[in-house]
Amino acid sequence: MRGLDAEALDFTLESITEFAHRELPDAVLLDLDERDTFPEELVRRMCGEELGIQLVFVPEDYGGMGGNAMDVYRVCECMARIDLGVATSVLATFLGSDPITVGGTEDQKARWMGRIAEEGILFAYGATEPDAGSDLAALKTVAKPIGDNGTVTGYRITGAKQWISNGGVAELSTVLALAPGGPTWFVVPHDAEGFTQGHPEHKHGIRLSNTAALFLEDVEVPVDDLVGLVEGQGLQQAQQVFGYTRLMVAAFGLGAGWAALDRAIPYSQDRMQAGGPLSEKQGYTHKLIVPHAVALEVARAAIEETAARIDAGGGSLNTEGAIAKYLASEAGNAAADAAIQALGGYGYTHEYLVEKIRRDVRITTIYEGTSEIMEMTIARDRWQEHLKTRGDHYHAIGRELEALPAGVGGDIAALAHHALAEMLEACRTARLTRHQHILLRLGELEARTEGAGALARRAAAVAAGTTVEKTSNRFDAAALAAMSRVAAREAALTITTEGLRWVGAAEGGDAAALAARMGLPAVHAAQAGLIADMDLVADALYRRT
Ligand SMILES: Cc1cc2nc3c(=O)[nH]c(=O)nc-3n(C[C@H](O)[C@H](O)[C@H](O)COP(=O)(O)OP(=O)(O)OC[C@H]3O[C@@H](n4cnc5c(N)ncnc54)[C@H](O)[C@@H]3O)c2cc1C
């Protein structure tokens, strides 16, 4: 899918940024956060004629601009840099209409996507319930068919939905309910009889978003409002959009993480301690700034690679979406936390905003699937790949990385991939995935390894001038190569250390033999040059030549 042309995307990003500078300066953000207030009028202007952000994700056939996955990631990152609560609200409409995008009939798409484009209505996505979060199949909301003489003319929906973004303000919700044929999405207007909303939740972060419970008491909807007109497709439809929607939340983590670092970086240039700016102190930059910039760019590489593959027709890429979300949301949280430390006592106060960003970004490891569910999703899928290829899955990717040009970190990322393949094999022979903790640790290590590989490929593409259109261009080839080498060393060391730890913890066995198979001496040797590369990354971040 081609999406917006590069100029249209740049214009959209500039318009959003300019609107935010004008309407949402720091003082306004702090005030709204303090008062726990959703700026509804502002969000409606952003989703209406004035800014028209919603047009990016509505297909051209229904009056939108037909943005692709790359466009949506760039817009989500841009919005998250401004405020994650506002971003959540604007993008909840996208989430809410996703079941229609993947499962709706042509008439349904024209009807509802057309209204989003023309009227700028807000949608909400009603999946979660008080007793059904990560395990959506446990849902209790029911949809009872109604009709005459055996013909179903509509449904009567009863149940409750929990933590719904835009729940208290949207015009329409997509609601997942259990019909006789299985879980099914329905489009429910918020002014329907029997439909009520809870009070806005009092939240830790994203306090500029509205989150509310929904209550449905015999709410009647016509059969035409069953998404796709066939019962029982709901969970598959929810799965189908995950690759896409998890990229959105990944972009939220990325944007919020960079927003925090981009406050810490200039602060450290101004703040004098012990005779000079903090930015000149290696013990400061190499702990609080550099590793986080690297982790965020690892996540960006995973996001951009996944978006490019989705746009090239590669399917919904659920596992890759999960990896991108996992890496970006964890990196965004760590970066925001480090930014508080980087600002010292000032960081701990409201005024400097990094404290608010830290609270806001916390949600990204929870909604659209928690980090633990991401670990499980990644681990299960890659376990199958390991078995199908008789243990060669990660070795094969390692060989591809070894073929990248020298200097972009491919050789070191390859060490991580080969070590991971050996860890998986050790888990297979000793049947260690029967321990859920080990399965989930595998998910984490797989994400870290694949992220390092993605950044090496991105560094190589930037060096060769072969990047996909519309990707970000903040760092040049030399800086990206240094970042990639730092990331690859970290991944390789983590995989070997953690691999030995968890295999040993569950099985005991011959640790020295496994260490040799995982290439531990080579991984240790590859750490040479790390400090120099971190110096290079710091120079790039502080624009020092
Ligand atoms: C601000 C906010 C906005 C939200 N917006 C929306 C929205 O618009 N629409 C919507 O439908 N939902 C929304 N949600 C809900 C969100 O998606 C869920 O909170 C999330 O999926 C987790 O579900 P849960 O809260 O029930 O936690 P649980 O599923 O109960 O999980 C609790 C903890 O247990 C872990 N866990 C769960 N299952 C397992 C397992 N099998 N093995 C190991 N560990 C496990 C989880 O990782 C987590 O750490 C929102 C939530 C919040 C807080």
Average pLDDT over residues 284-312: 97
Average pLDDT over residues 16-32: 97
Ligand 1 center from residue 139 Cα (angstroms): 13
Tokens, residue 47: 């989703």
- 8 Å CB contact between 330 and 371: yes
pLDDT attached to residue 8: 95
Q: In the structure, what pLDDT confidence band is assigned to residue 148 with cuts at 50, 70 and 90?
A: confident
Say how far apart CA 487 and CA 494 lie, in whole Å: 10
pLDDT attached to residue 493: 98
Name the phi and psi angles at 134, rounded to 5: -60, -35
Q: Which residue has the higher pLDDT, 26 or 241?
A: 26
From 367, 436, 440, 444, the mutation candidate for ligand 1 (largest count of ligand atoms within 8 A of CB) is 367
Ligand 1 atom closest to the CA of 92, numbered from 1: 8
If one counts every other C-beta atom within 10 angstroms of the C-beta of residue 491, the result is 30
Which H or E element spans position 381? Answer: helix 371-388
pLDDT tens track for 492-534:
999 999 999 999 998 878 999 999 999 999 999 999 999 999 9
Nearest CA to 122 out of 97, 87, 86, 105 is that of 97
Say how far apart CA 445 and CA 429 lie, in whole Å: 19
Instruction: Establish whether 280 is a catalytic residue.
Output: no
Cβ(364) to ligand 1 under 6 A?
A: no
**Angle, CA 95 vertex, CA 90 and CA 98 arms, to 5°:** 135
pLDDT tens track for 204-248:
999 999 999 999 999 999 999 999 999 999 999 988 888 788 999
Ligand 1 center from residue 373 Cα (angstroms): 9
- 8 Å CB contact between 325 and 247: yes
Ligand 1 atom closest to the CA of 135, numbered from 1: 29
Cβ(127) to ligand 1 under 6 A?
A: yes
pLDDT attached to residue 458: 98
Ligand 1 center from residue 137 Cα (angstroms): 13
Cβ(38) to ligand 1 under 6 A?
A: no
Provide the terminal-to-terminal Cα distance of the chain, rounded to the nearest Å: 40
Ligand 1 center from residue 342 Cα (angstroms): 31
pLDDT tens track for 110-132:
999 999 999 999 999 999 999 99
Ligand 1 center from residue 187 Cα (angstroms): 22
Tokens, residue 529: 């040059």
DSSP annotation of 285 reads I
pLDDT attached to residue 149: 84
Ligand 1 center from residue 370 Cα (angstroms): 6
Say how far apart CA 505 and CA 520 lie, in whole Å: 18
Cβ(242) to ligand 1 under 6 A?
A: no
Which amino acid residue places its CA nearest to atom 43 of ligand 1?
372
Q: In the structure, what pLDDT confidence band is assigned to residue 315 with cuts at 50, 70 and 90?
A: confident
Considering the candidates 330, 368, 422, 444, report the single residue annotated as catalytic. 368
From 134, 166, 325, the mutation candidate for ligand 1 (largest count of ligand atoms within 8 A of CB) is 134
Which amino acid residue places its CA nearest to atom 11 of ligand 1?
127
From 93, 248, 366, the mutation candidate for ligand 1 (largest count of ligand atoms within 8 A of CB) is 366
In the 3-class helix/strand/coil scheme, how is 133-191 assigned residue by residue?
CCCHHHCCCEEEEEEECCEEEEEEEEEEEEEEECCCCCCEEEEEEEECCEEEEEEEECC
Nearest CA to 260 out of 288, 218, 300, 232 is that of 288
pLDDT at 545 over 80: no
Average pLDDT, the chain: 96
pLDDT tens track for 161-215:
999 999 999 999 999 999 999 999 999 999 999 999 999 999 999 999 999 999 9
Instruction: Tell me the one-letter amino acid at 427.
Output: C
Average pLDDT over residues 26-35: 98
